[in-house]
Amino acid sequence: MEIIRKGTKEEMEFVDGKLDAFNLTKMPWHKEKIWEHFNLFATDDNGKIIGGIIANLLMDECLSIYVLWVDEAFRYKKIGSRLLSQLEEDAKKIGAQVSHLDTFDFQALEFYQKSGYEIFGTLEGSPCKGHKRYYMRKNLA
């Protein structure tokens, strides 16, 4: 009998581990190379965080950016550009070949395009009706 229910943290980790194990049968890398976490933060003169970028590097080749934020008072001062550029450089030193991310139409589409990212997919109605989610990529090699 099938039972559909919410899972525990341990059950989520179990399922995630099973997917990792399957993926490793399709790729020639070692398990310790699956994910490497990357993060960089910008601070003001008092040490307060005014911006940050959080990403993962998959198999040393694919940079996956999932958060880039700059405090509104510090936007348009190249902080986001510096965070993104440094992250890409750090990932390239390890061997990253490509970077990808997603952004909503009300976020930073033009910023990413100016940084060399190209749209490879669009999801209409995301996160809600009347908006779009853009999936973007950039060759790093």
- In whole angstroms, what separates CA 4 from the centre of its chain? 30
Contacts of 137 (CB under 8 A, 6+ apart): 98, 99, 100, 117, 118, 120
Q: Which amino acid is at 14?
A: F
pLDDT in tens, 10-55: 999 999 889 878 877 887 665 555 567 889 999 999 999 999 999 9
- In which element (H, E) is residue 69 found? strand 62-70
pLDDT in tens, 61-119: 899 999 999 999 999 999 999 999 999 999 999 889 999 999 999 999 999 999 999 99
Structure token digits, residue 67 = 């958060």
The alpha-carbon radius of gyration of the chain (Å, integer) is 18
* pTM, rounded to two decimals: 0.81
For the chain, the domains span: 30-139
Residue 117 near residue 80, CB atoms below 8 Å: no
Residue 38 near residue 84, CB atoms below 8 Å: no
CATH topology of domain 30-139: Aminopeptidase (3.40.630)
Beta bridge partners of residue 123, listed in sequence order: 133
